[in-house]
Amino acid sequence: MSAISLLVAAPFLMGQSEPVLVPEVSQSRIEVRQGFTGANLLLYGAVIDPRGPANTRDYDIAVVLKGPAEPIRLREKERMAGIWMNAGANDFRSAPSFFAVASSKPIPEIVDPRTAAIYELGTEFIQLSPTGQIEPEEQARYASGLVEMRERLGLYKQNPQGVRISEGVLYQARITLPSNVTTGQYTAETFAIANGRVVASATADIEVVKVGLEGSVVYASQQWALFYGLGAIALSLGMGWIAGQAFSKL
């Protein structure tokens, strides 16, 4: 956080009684091109106490980065007669495509479970929206399975030592986006915590977009869905015909 930013913000904070978070992000737009291998995000900022430096408390910081929410169906498999078969399924209306939490200390050391659940400070506190009637135990099993699956893919993660605080008020956190992230609008929520209570929060937006040839294909599929579909069918038929002609001559 630059000194200029703090000086500009200071006059607007004089009337405040609670601390205020001033967040920044190293990249507000991430471009996914061919050969994209991921991105490293730096989220940083300061906690400003309008009452002055003498009243500054010891703060802990937690950062939650969430990707676009999407519906998902989870299937549970069981081994029957030596064959893995679908034994059940559950739908969630809203599951974040990416979810990462970084904090200055392990979450259980800075807030109680209720507060952690309210602010989704951990993969076990992700607020999913199941469809239909489902028993709480079964819902928890499916939710745990979703988290484990996406943790293996690098899409869900948490780092209890991922935030560094300096001078009591400046913080920085690094979160890595893998190459298989979903494009769309991402939200970085930062929380300042003191004495087990969230005393300030702020949000920053990050856009992940496809550019180049891949971006053009995605744009065409969204803007001209009918023609894109017809073109894809024509291309498939054409490639099949060419392959058939080539093999007929062998």
State whether 82 and 144 are in the same domain.
Answer: yes
Strands (E), 67-183: 69-80, 83-96, 99-103, 156-159, 163-166, 170-177
What pLDDT does residue 215 have?
Answer: 46
State whether 163 and 233 are in the same domain.
Answer: no
> Has residue 199 been placed in a domain?
yes
Task: List the alpha helices (DSSP H) in the chain.
Answer: 3-13, 107-110, 113-118, 136-152, 212-223, 225-248
State whether 158 and 243 are in the same domain.
Answer: no
What pLDDT does residue 199 have?
Answer: 92
State whether 43 and 113 are in the same domain.
Answer: yes
The CATH code of the domain that includes 75 is: 2.60.40.1930
Tokens of residue 110, six digits: 């800075």
- How many CB atoms neighbour CB 168 within 10 A? 14
Q: What is the pTM of this model?
A: 0.75
What pLDDT does residue 249 have?
Answer: 60
**246 SS3 class:** helix
Say if residues 57 and 169 touch (Cβ distance below 8 Å).
no
State whether 238 and 156 are in the same domain.
Answer: no
> Has residue 1 been placed in a domain?
no
State whether 181 and 216 are in the same domain.
Answer: no
State whether 59 and 121 are in the same domain.
Answer: yes
State whether 205 and 149 are in the same domain.
Answer: yes
> Has residue 157 been placed in a domain?
yes
State whether 64 and 121 are in the same domain.
Answer: yes
- pLDDT tens over the chain, length 250 residues: 444 454 445 544 455 567 888 999 999 999 988 888 889 999 999 988 776 554 556 889 999 999 999 888 877 766 666 666 666 777 888 899 999 999 999 999 999 999 999 999 999 999 887 776 777 787 888 888 889 999 999 999 999 999 999 887 899 999 999 999 999 999 999 999 999 999 999 999 999 998 855 545 554 455 556 655 666 676 676 666 666 666 666 5
Domains in the chain, number: 2
> Has residue 8 been placed in a domain?
no
State whether 178 and 241 are in the same domain.
Answer: no
State whether 40 and 129 are in the same domain.
Answer: yes
Q: What are phi and psi of 113, to 5 degrees?
A: -55, -35
> Has residue 235 been placed in a domain?
yes
Domain assignment of residue 120, given as a range: 16-211
> Has residue 172 been placed in a domain?
yes
d(CA 82, CA 43): 49
